[in-house]
């Protein structure tokens, strides 16, 4: 079965991550390692584009190192919230605080599109992620290390155009990770990938989040992805947080397990119900 899966998707990592699973179990059981992540506090956040009020007052606290998934129907404002957190849009009202002063390198974003520079080799694309540290003497070593972390160290000299979609997205992940960010925001990072590549990328995301202990904010339209990865799922509807669900299913989580499916089902039902109500109005 595993062989078959690997055959179908060249990007798929080996599906049993026994080492990682063991590590995760140990980490959970023992004292929690001190998180490098930053806590995030949002108060009364509002944002409009023209007459269209996209976010209508968001209040939210994310503890350091938490993995939060934000789900909602398209146009609900989830991507806008992420862009505001990442500092890509200006805030109309309210505050976003990281608890302490941050450097630009502390907050990184990964998009649905890999956004690699087509004219730069894979390694220099990763070096872009170092920000102001690009000129430092260990820049190349750090970029190589980040590439190794996503399993692409053998592709360092390639042009992005020869990589597959999943590989490009892994390079984008290495670029986001290379500065060791303390908050990493994902905007539908797996939306354009095929199903098997998605699963292996989800495992990769979970692993790097576990290893590097940053605060992760994942915007996704895929509820099963949200419950599989996140500690907590926020449902956004009409620019407000409609539901805040803690996912206390122990890691490693088995995809397709009954608890995950039940949770996914209940979130989906809520989303669909509110969708029907809107359409009936």
Residues in contact with other proteins by the rule CB under 8 A: 86, 88, 104-105, 108-109, 111, 113, 115, 117-120, 128-129, 131-132, 159-162, 175
Instruction: Give the chain's end-to-end CA distance (angstroms, integer).
Output: 48
- Our CB check for other proteins shows the closer of 40 and 71 to be 40
- Taking the complex as a whole, the smallest distance from the CB of residue 61 to other proteins amounts, in Å, to 25
- Our CB check for other proteins shows the closer of 7 and 49 to be 49
- Taking the complex as a whole, the smallest distance from the CB of residue 104 to other proteins amounts, in Å, to 5
- Taking the complex as a whole, the smallest distance from the CB of residue 259 to other proteins amounts, in Å, to 37
Signed CA dihedral, 171, 173, 175, 180: sign only: negative
* DSSP calls for 40-104: EEEEEEEEEETTEEEEEEEEEEE-TT-EEEEE--TTSSHHHHHHHHTTSS--SEEEEE-SS---G
Inter-helix orientation angle 165-177/195-212, to 10°: 10
- Our CB check for other proteins shows the closer of 57 and 87 to be 87
Tokens of 138: 């260990």
- Taking the complex as a whole, the smallest distance from the CB of residue 158 to other proteins amounts, in Å, to 10
- Taking the complex as a whole, the smallest distance from the CB of residue 80 to other proteins amounts, in Å, to 15
- Our CB check for other proteins shows the closer of 192 and 249 to be 192
- Our CB check for other proteins shows the closer of 162 and 275 to be 162
Closest to 71 measured CA to CA, from 214, 241, 194: 241
- Taking the complex as a whole, the smallest distance from the CB of residue 129 to other proteins amounts, in Å, to 6
Are 157 and 123 contacting, i.e. CB atoms less than 8 angstroms apart? yes
Rg over alpha carbons for the chain, rounded to the nearest Å, is 19
Kindly compute the dihedral angle of the four CA atoms of residues 265, 267, 269, 274, in this order, to the nearest 10 degrees: -170
Distance CA 230, CA 199 (A): 14
- Taking the complex as a whole, the smallest distance from the CB of residue 117 to other proteins amounts, in Å, to 7
Closest to 148 measured CA to CA, from 130, 129, 173, 120: 173
- Our CB check for other proteins shows the closer of 179 and 224 to be 179
- Our CB check for other proteins shows the closer of 145 and 243 to be 145
Signed CA dihedral, 93, 98, 102, 106: sign only: negative
């Amino acid at each position: 079965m595993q062989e078959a899966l690997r055959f179908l998707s060249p990007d798929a990592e080996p599906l049993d991550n026994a080492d990682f699973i063991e590590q995760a179990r140990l980490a959970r059981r023992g004292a929690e390692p001190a998180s490098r992540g930053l806590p995030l506090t949002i108060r009364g956040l509002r944002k409009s584009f023209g007459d269209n009020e996209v976010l209508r007052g968001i209040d939210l606290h994310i503890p350091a190192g938490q993995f939060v998934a934000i789900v909602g129907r398209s146009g609900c404002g989830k991507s806008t919230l992420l862009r505001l957190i990442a500092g890509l849009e200006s805030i109309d009202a309210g505050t976003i605080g990281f608890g302490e002063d941050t450097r630009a390198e502390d907050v990184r974003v990964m998009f649905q599109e890999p956004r690699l520079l087509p004219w730069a080799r894979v390694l220099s694309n990763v070096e872009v992620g170092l920000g102001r540290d690009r000129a430092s003497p260990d820049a190349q070593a750090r970029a190589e290390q980040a590439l190794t972390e996503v399993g692409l160290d053998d592709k360092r000299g390639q042009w992005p155009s020869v990589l597959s979609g999943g590989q490009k997205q892994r390079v984008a992940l290495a670029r986001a990770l290379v500065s060791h960010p303390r908050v990493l925001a994902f905007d539908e990072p797996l939306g354009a990938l095929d199903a098997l590549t998605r699963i292996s990328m989800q495992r990769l995301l979970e692993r790097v989040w576990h290893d590097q202990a940053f605060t992760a904010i994942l915007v996704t339209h895929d509820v099963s992805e949200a419950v599989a990865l996140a500690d907590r799922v926020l449902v956004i509807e009409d620019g407000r947080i409609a539901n805040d669900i803690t996912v206390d299913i122990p890691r490693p989580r088995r995809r397709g397990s009954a608890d995950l499916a039940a949770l996914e089902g209940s979130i989906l039902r809520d989303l669909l119900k509110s969708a029907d109500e809107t359409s009936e109005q």
